[in-house]
Structure formats: C-alpha cells, structure tokens
Structure 1
Amino acid sequence: MPASPLYRPDPRVSELGGEFADPVAAAAFPETILRFRNDRAARTVGLDTLTDAEWIAHFGRFEPLPGNLPTPLAMRYHGHQFRVYNPDLGDGRGFTFAQLRETGTGRLMDLGTKGTGQTPWSRQGDGRLTLKGGVREALATAMLEALGVPTSRTLSLVETGEALMRNDEPSPTRGAAMVRLSHSHIRFGSFQRHAYLQAPQRITRLTDHVIELYYPELADEADRPGALLRAVTAKAAALAAAWMAAGFVHGVLNTDNMNITGESFDYGPYRFLPYNDPNFTAAYFDSTGLYAFGRQPETVFWNLQQLAACLALVGDQDALIAALNTFAGEYHRALTAAVLRRLGVRSRSEAEDVELAKATFQAFAGGGTALRWEPLFFDWFGNGEARALAGPRAGLYADEGFAELRRRLGSYEAERPERLADPYFEGPEPQELIYEEIEAIWASIAEADDWSAFHAKLAAIETARKAYGLAAG
C-alpha cells in the first residue's frame, strides 16, 4: 500500500465507455525480477514509498493500486503506419494500468505498460517485450529528459523469466514488463478509429474528455474541435522542435505513436544522431527515409492533418484549417527557443535569436562527420567560448565554418550562469547515447548478466540532467 500522502488516484479513462477501451488481464510471468525502479519519477506521483515487494506486486504482477483502476484497460485506436491506414490496431502488448495526479502541477498522469501480455488487439503478436527493448527505452527516456524533450518516463522494468523468439535479434531472448509514466495515452489514432467507424458522437465525447482533463482552459471555447486542434498543434510543433535540437530520431512516427499532450513516447528503433545528417533514419525497415531526422517536422504536420480530418466530422472546417496553418510559425518559434535552451543563453530579440539558431545548424552542416551532435551544445553551453576553444574540438571551432556561430554567440549572455559551475562542464566530453554504447551496455547484460554499465549510464545521464537544468516544455 502506498503510504505517501502525495499518492492521489484519479482513474478517469473508464468514463469514456466500452467503445474506447477493453478490460484485460496481465500475463502471469514465471519470474518477476526487479531490474530498474525510477524513484525520482515515482516521487512525483507518490509511489516512491513502495517497498520492492510492493513494487513487484503492482508493476510485475499488476495488482491494482489502491483506489485506482480495478482492471487494466487496453485502448482502442487506429492509425497510419508509414502513411498506410491500418484499422487493426490498439494496445496489443500493453494497457493503461492506473491514473493519478502529479504532485505540484496536479496534472493527470497515466501508468501505461509494455510487454504485459496479449489483448484483443494483439493480432498475431505474443504481447511481450524483450528485455533489450526495455533497457533501450529506459535509456532513451532518461536521455531525452536530460536534453529537455517532453517525454514519457520509464518508471519500472521487471524481467519476466521468459525466453522470447524474435526475427530482428538473436533468439531466444529475455522478456520484460515495463511501466511508463506519461501525461496521456490518448493518441491521434484514438480519434481516427471513430472517424473510420463514422461515429461523430464518439469524437465529440473524446474531444470533451480531452479538453476537460488536459486542456481545461478551452472549456468555454465556442468551437471546441478547432480550439483543441490549435492547442495540440502547438504542443506537437514544440515536440518536433525539441527532437531536432536534441538530434533525436524517433524512428516510427505513425499516427498511433503521437498523443494529444505533445509528449514523446514508445521508443522502438530510435537513434540519437552521431553527427548531423538530415537523411539519417533509425528504423532498418524505413527504406524510403520517410521518418528520417530532417523529415520529422513534415511528418508531425502530416499527422496533425489526419487528426484534423477526424475533427472535421464535428468541427468547423475553416477553423481547423486555420489551426493547421499555425504549425509552421509555432515550429520555427519553438525550434529557435529549443536551440537557445540547448546553448544555455538568454534571448536577445526574435531576429537575433533566429539568426543564432540558423548559425548553429550551419555549423553542424559545416562540421560534417568530424563534429558529433551533442559535443557542440556541451562545448558552447552558456556561451562557453573559452571552454570550447580550449577543448578537444578547438581546432574544428577555429575553422572558418564556425565563424558565424562564434560571432553570433559573442553577443549573448548565459541564461542562469550558475549552471556553469557544475563539475559536469569541467570534463572534456558530454554524455551521449550513441547506438554503439547502447549495444555495449546490452552485451554486458546478455552475456554476463552484468547490469553495472546500465546503472552507471543512467547515473551519468542524471548528472547531465542536473547540470543542464533544461525544463521540458
């Protein structure tokens, strides 16, 4: 039983009714070995006081949390997968386990699972998650949070004692059950399902539900669908900008992998850029580069258009078009702000800030494969010219290709300059999460059940998070 007075259950998803979700049961696992618990995230919802035994009971065997959902719910949705519509989707290996209020903000948060067994939407899948997939997601969410990207947080990872067969990795491989803490699991595809079924009354119900719980400031809007799309567009634009500033490639930006609160989640074949490459893809099966790094803003806008088509069944078309037309401006403003946050400098003026962001991306282009993505922001954080020109990339930064960035940054002041006193900035290299390091971390686990590199990496990323002090938003 959670003893913390900060635990505030508020299960609301069941209010939508049976057309939106299906009650399901978690799989019974041969073993439940706790591999990772995120007490910092748990503290935000009053669950950090659970003992390890209670933790496993709730997040390994999925015994209901007090006052919360009595039965997990697998959400129903459709979606475009690589722009091909698929009406046979839904939570196929996970469910919404609980909903609760976040300390301080009062935001409604979801506990969603991955790898917890088959549901009515599993199709031919086994409903399971590989342990490697859980390890990769825990690392991804930690790194994204450190870089200021709005993201789900990996709350728990429990090894299940199962041997899973997979086509895309050596098998048999170990299984896991993962729990993520997210602002919402209502997806663009949640609206698409009811548009496909020609059920406008359900779209209205879903719109009202989303506004009540996630956008209460829109409650008095005369045209709720148009107002909602405008708000979601702003959130999605900010998310796309945050990915671009972080050098992050989601990999599978299907409409069912985007939610209505603008939070990144569900990490499969993601990658962080080793160096600037607009054509870099994360998924080996993305043969056309549809979801390449440089195409992510375009893809997010395309997905918003699909959401707008659903809302057109219940809203004013002109208002929806007007909402979509805000995307470009919202994205460019958000990208400029994201670059300034990553550089750790204070805004000067809109025009100057835009030019600084342009100079930053031009510097990346000029640096080519010699310049890794993360070190540039680390070296120059807080307008750290002295540090950058004395570090391991000093010769590169002295090149003419970086002259414009040096000139632009020269007139900027550090935002919260006290951050520069953190010992993190005394080192020559920043924390990164490149593919080869993830593979090495997994190799230690797979070959010797050695988790030390995994936990050390999470601790190092946490050091970076505290040093940067980048609030997602």
Structure 2
Amino acid sequence: MRAEPQAASYRPDTPIESLADWIGDPVDPADFPKTELRFRNDRHAASVGLAELSDAEWTRHFGRFEPLEGNLPRPLALRYHGHQFRVYNPDLGDGRGYLFAQMRDAEGRLMDLGTKGSGQTPWSREGDGRLTLKGAVREILATEMLEALGVNTSKTFSVVETGEELWRSDEPSPTRSAVMTRLSHGHIRIGTFQRLLALEEKEHMVQLVDYCLAQFPGPPPPEDAPGREEPAVRLMHLVVERMADLAASWMVAGFVHGVLNTDNMNVSGESFDYGPWRFLPKWDPGFTAAYFDHQGLYAFGRQPEALHWNCGQFAIALRLLVDAPPLIAAMERFGPLYMEAIGRRWCWRLGVASRGAEADAALVAACEKALTESGASPDAFFFTHRGGRGAQGPLAEALDGYAAVEDSHEYWAGEAPQSMLIEEVEAIWSAIDERDDWLPLTEKVAALRRMGEAHGEPPSPAGHLQ
C-alpha cells in the first residue's frame, strides 16, 4: 500500500535567489476582489510543514500571497523561451504565474510553490494573467488521477476563487476566476536553457546546470558514457532518463497531455501545466487532447517521440557548454530507457511482477493488441485483468509465468475502476458552476486517493530524484 507523504517541519530554503538577477523578474500579486478557499491539499502540505496553517492563514498566503516566513520576499516570474508546436518563440516567460516560495521536504529535497492565475507579469503579452475556476478544477482532477496512477506529477496544492468575471474564447463566458498554487520539485524548463543559448549567456548556463545538479540530483551516467564527468553531460543523462520514464508513465496511464512544448518540460522530470488534457476512452494512438492540434503533433501515440524531440532541443542548448558527441550518446539512450520503463510500469499497473525487459515487451504488445481489439478503455482493461485475472487466448499466453502481486485492498473487489473521462470532468464542473456543489469533486478526489493506495508505490524511474 502506498504510504502517505512523509510529514515534515517547515524549512524555508531559497537557492533560486542565487540566480534571481537573470532568471526572473520580481513581481507583485494581483489584488483580487475576494479570496474564497476552495481546495487545500493538506496531504501534501504536511510534507512541507504547512498543514497546520488555519484557513485564514492559508488564504493570506495562497490568495493574497503574503510571503511565507523566511521565504522569498517577492514572487519571481521566470524567464524562458520555447518551441511551441515546433515553432521557436522567444517571447515567453511566466505570464500568469510565478515562483512564490521554496522549502525542503522531509527527505531534504527542494520543493517549489508556483502559481497560475496570480496576475500579470512582464511576460503576460496580451493576456490578463488570470485563470478560470474551471481550469483550476481540471488541474485538481488531472494531478490527483495521475498521482494515483504513479505518474511523477506536480501536485495541486491550493485553489482560491477570486471573484472576477473572465472572458474566454474556448468556454462559456463570463466565467469564474481562481488562483492556483502547485507544489513541485522545480520550475526549471528546457525552455529556460534555450533562452540562455539564444542570448549566448554561457556563464549563466554554467550556473543553471550546477543549480539543477544540486537541487534535482540523480544517479551518475553509465560507466561507459563519454564525457560523464562534465556537469552538462551529467544533467543531459538525467533529463533523458526522466523524460523517457515520464513518456512511459503517460502511456501506461492512458493520458494525453496535449501541449508538449519545450517550455512545458520540467528538467526535474515532473509532468505539469495541465491545459487541454484528456484520458483515453479507448486505446487509440491518434487520439488528441487539444482542439488546436490540427496535425496531431501531440497525439497519444506520438508523446514519446515528442519528449525525445524536446530532449534534442535540450542537447542543442547544452552545446553552449560541451561538444555534441557525449550529448548525442545520452540521447541514444532514450529509446531503450523508454521501453524498459513501459514494461516496468505496465507490469506495475497490471499487478504482476516484472520478468525483465524482453518478456515485459512481449506482454505489453499482447495487451495493446487485446486493448485495440476489445475497444475497452485502459482503465477497464487494467482493472479487469489485474493480476492476470480473466485473461484468455494470446493474452493468457503472454501472462503465462507472470506472478500476481498481492492485492488485499478493497478497491480491487469493486465493480468498476476509477476513470477520468471528459464526461465526468464536465459533470463535476457543472455541479460547481450551476449549483456551487463541491461534493462531487471532494468525493472524486477521495476515490482517486483510494485507488492510489490500492496500486501502491510505483516503480522508481531511472534518473529519479535522490
């Protein structure tokens, strides 16, 4: 059974200040008409020593953004560039969010609190710097579902309704507004490095590589990796390892992120920034989440290739510091690492013990064939065949020799699995929008956390944060 996040005392630590002169811009939060607390994640607040805040204190910090004691005196809107649908854009940056605070968790790892919808910044361009309440609710649902399915994801930490009417072209307007705070290990993106390359800021690139190695540490590169002592090469290997596992975790979850631009890629390996996401109603490699993704660039089945391409852009940025061959060698590890991660995570969700890369790859292929032929949703498939139960024909043959893990959690005796299809997302939002009824959301979060407990701890990925 999955353990609760380990409780910790509040330990502020702000290493980002060593980079603050060039990585971001100090900003002031928006002054909202109201601040009504709608969601607080005490489960993860305990992991950074903030669960004991009263609701009034919580709202002052995460609705009015009064600085936390000993933390950043002013929020920092980070600067970055990025490829958006493979088109380079140098006019990016935190346009409706900022880094609000940093602290250590119980294991001493750095944790960031970042915002979305907290007001305009120098990088807002023509935007209002706001977030719809529906967008915040959708992010709660995405992060809770993904966490339960073992994905390394940011955590929705807080949602505060802010009392403004927002106009959006892609949803009924006017609509309600909110400010959201997310908890993650970091907010350094591939696009952060791309900006430094474009501006030829070599010394800042050196500083950023050192920061990432210090704050997002992981295992060293393989013994035979060329240039493995070079800091930039070490970081390249970690990012490739993390991105390969992230891609695999989305595929096993049946999740479509929707917008895999390089400014949405966190070098800590965490999935974050949930806009037009969807979960698969059936196994369909061509399924897209974003209505504006007309070419299917970020379709479900193309996500691994998209993350590999983004790793390539990271390698190009690091060429400011090191020669290409060791970076290319790191890139060449992506495919094998991805296949290993798919097998490892597939077995975990299916409830069987891995038998090694070759056998696991054959099992995954048999399951994908069964999924395609049956038209079942991934959620139903993994639930129905948990531990190998109910398997027939080629699927049963592929499962021959696989040992089932012990499943004593009551979740597995239920009639149906938890899922997160768009119809349920819309129903949960409608209850809030039409009746101000938050009970369906509260009940769904509780059900997803029970599902996470039933699955247990996911397998540790290559390049995991140490």
What band does the TM-score fall into relative to the shorter chain?
Answer: over 0.9
Equivalent in 165, 168, 172 of residue 166 of structure 1: 168
Q: Contact 2:8–2:48 (CA<8 Å) still a contact in 1?
A: no
Q: Supply the distance in 1 between the matched residues of 2:220 and 2:363 (Cα, whole angstroms).
A: 35
The answer for the alignment partner of 1:361 in structure 2 is 368
Cα distance change, pair 411–222 in 1 and its aligned pair in 2 (3 A) = closer
Task: Give how far 1:130 is off.
Answer: 0.1
Question: Residue 22 of structure 2 aligns to a residue in which SS?
Answer: coil
The answer for the alignment partner of 1:460 in structure 2 is 447
Are positions 1:407 and 2:397 aligned together? yes
Equivalent in 374, 377, 380 of residue 379 of structure 2: 374
The answer for the alignment partner of 1:122 in structure 2 is 124
The answer for the alignment partner of 2:272 in structure 1 is 265
Q: Supply the distance in 2 between the matched residues of 1:261 and 1:376 (Cα, whole angstroms).
A: 31
Question: Residue 159 of structure 1 aligns to a residue in which SS?
Answer: strand
Q: Supply the distance in 2 between the matched residues of 1:451 and 1:248 (Cα, whole angstroms).
A: 25
Task: Give how far 1:60 is off.
Answer: 0.7
Are positions 1:326 and 2:326 aligned together? no
Task: Give how far 1:217 is off.
Answer: 5.5
1:90-135 deviation digits (Å, cap 9, x = unpaired): 00000000011111x2211100000000000000000000000000
Q: Supply the distance in 1 between the matched residues of 2:347 and 2:445 (Cα, whole angstroms).
A: 25
Q: Contact 1:24–1:72 (CA<8 Å) still a contact in 2?
A: yes
The answer for the alignment partner of 2:238 in structure 1 is 231
Of the structure 1 ranges 353-362 and 299-308, higher mean CA displacement relative to structure 2 is found in 353-362
Q: Supply the distance in 2 between the matched residues of 1:35 and 1:163 (Cα, whole angstroms).
A: 17
Equivalent in 423, 432, 441 of residue 445 of structure 1: 432
Question: Residue 464 of structure 1 aligns to a residue in which SS?
Answer: helix
Structure-to-structure mapping, 1:23-62, within 5 angstroms? 23-62=26-65
Q: Supply the distance in 2 between the matched residues of 1:342 and 1:117 (Cα, whole angstroms).
A: 40
User: Gaps (5+ residues) in structure 1?
Assistant: 390-396
Structure-to-structure mapping, 1:291-330, within 5 angstroms? 291-330=298-337
Q: Supply the distance in 2 between the matched residues of 1:69 and 1:380 (Cα, whole angstroms).
A: 49
Equivalent in 337, 343, 363 of residue 350 of structure 2: 343
Question: Residue 21 of structure 2 aligns to a residue in which SS?
Answer: coil
Q: Contact 1:110–1:182 (CA<8 Å) still a contact in 2?
A: yes
Q: Supply the distance in 2 between the matched residues of 1:450 and 1:302 (Cα, whole angstroms).
A: 43
Cα distance change, pair 460–5 in 1 and its aligned pair in 2 (3 A) = closer
Q: Supply the distance in 2 between the matched residues of 1:289 and 1:271 (Cα, whole angstroms).
A: 14
Structure-to-structure mapping, 1:271-286, within 5 angstroms? 271-286=278-293
Q: Supply the distance in 2 between the matched residues of 1:121 and 1:434 (Cα, whole angstroms).
A: 33
Amino acid paired to 1:205: Q
1:255-284 deviation digits (Å, cap 9, x = unpaired): 000010111000000000010000000000
Q: Supply the distance in 1 between the matched residues of 2:136 and 2:426 (Cα, whole angstroms).
A: 13
Q: Supply the distance in 1 between the matched residues of 2:333 and 2:286 (Cα, whole angstroms).
A: 26
Q: Contact 2:156–2:183 (CA<8 Å) still a contact in 1?
A: yes
Amino acid paired to 1:452: L
Task: Give how far 1:222 is off.
Answer: 2.7
Structure-to-structure mapping, 1:161-240, within 5 angstroms? 161-215=163-217, 222-240=229-247
Q: Supply the distance in 2 between the matched residues of 1:471 and 1:347 (Cα, whole angstroms).
A: 13
Are positions 1:141 and 2:157 aligned together? no
TM-score (norm 2): 0.94
Q: Contact 1:343–1:381 (CA<8 Å) still a contact in 2?
A: yes
Q: Contact 1:218–1:224 (CA<8 Å) still a contact in 2?
A: no
Q: Contact 1:145–1:472 (CA<8 Å) still a contact in 2?
A: no
Question: Residue 71 of structure 2 aligns to a residue in which SS?
Answer: coil
Question: Residue 157 of structure 2 aligns to a residue in which SS?
Answer: strand
Number of residue pairs matched by the alignment = 449
1:298-330 deviation digits (Å, cap 9, x = unpaired): 000100100100001111211011011111111
Q: Supply the distance in 1 between the matched residues of 2:44 and 2:116 (Cα, whole angstroms).
A: 17
Amino acid paired to 2:429: W
Q: Supply the distance in 2 between the matched residues of 1:162 and 1:174 (Cα, whole angstroms).
A: 6
**After the TM superposition, which segments of 4 or more aligned residues of structure 1 sit over 4 Å from their partners?**
216-221
Q: Supply the distance in 2 between the matched residues of 1:295 and 1:201 (Cα, whole angstroms).
A: 35
Are positions 1:80 and 2:83 aligned together? yes
The answer for the alignment partner of 2:114 in structure 1 is 112
Q: Supply the distance in 2 between the matched residues of 1:349 and 1:68 (Cα, whole angstroms).
A: 46
Q: Supply the distance in 1 between the matched residues of 2:309 and 2:357 (Cα, whole angstroms).
A: 27
Equivalent in 390, 399, 411 of residue 424 of structure 1: 411
Cα distance change, pair 85–410 in 1 and its aligned pair in 2 (3 A) = same
The answer for the alignment partner of 1:392 in structure 2 is none
Provide the alpha-carbon RMSD of the alignment: 1.5
The answer for the alignment partner of 2:421 in structure 1 is 434
Equivalent in 83, 92, 97 of residue 95 of structure 2: 92
Amino acid paired to 1:21: G
Question: Residue 195 of structure 2 aligns to a residue in which SS?
Answer: helix
Task: Give how far 1:349 is off.
Answer: 3.2
Q: Contact 1:223–1:316 (CA<8 Å) still a contact in 2?
A: no
The answer for the alignment partner of 1:393 in structure 2 is none
1:417-460 deviation digits (Å, cap 9, x = unpaired): 0xx22111111210000001000111111111111111111111
Q: Contact 1:150–1:472 (CA<8 Å) still a contact in 2?
A: no
Question: Residue 159 of structure 2 aligns to a residue in which SS?
Answer: strand
Q: Contact 2:345–2:458 (CA<8 Å) still a contact in 1?
A: no
Identity %: 54
Task: Give how far 1:17 is off.
Answer: 3.2
TM-score (norm 1): 0.93
Amino acid paired to 2:269: G
Q: Contact 1:112–1:180 (CA<8 Å) still a contact in 2?
A: yes
Q: Contact 2:100–2:115 (CA<8 Å) still a contact in 1?
A: yes
Q: Supply the distance in 1 between the matched residues of 2:246 and 2:45 (Cα, whole angstroms).
A: 23
Q: Supply the distance in 2 between the matched residues of 1:382 and 1:356 (Cα, whole angstroms).
A: 13
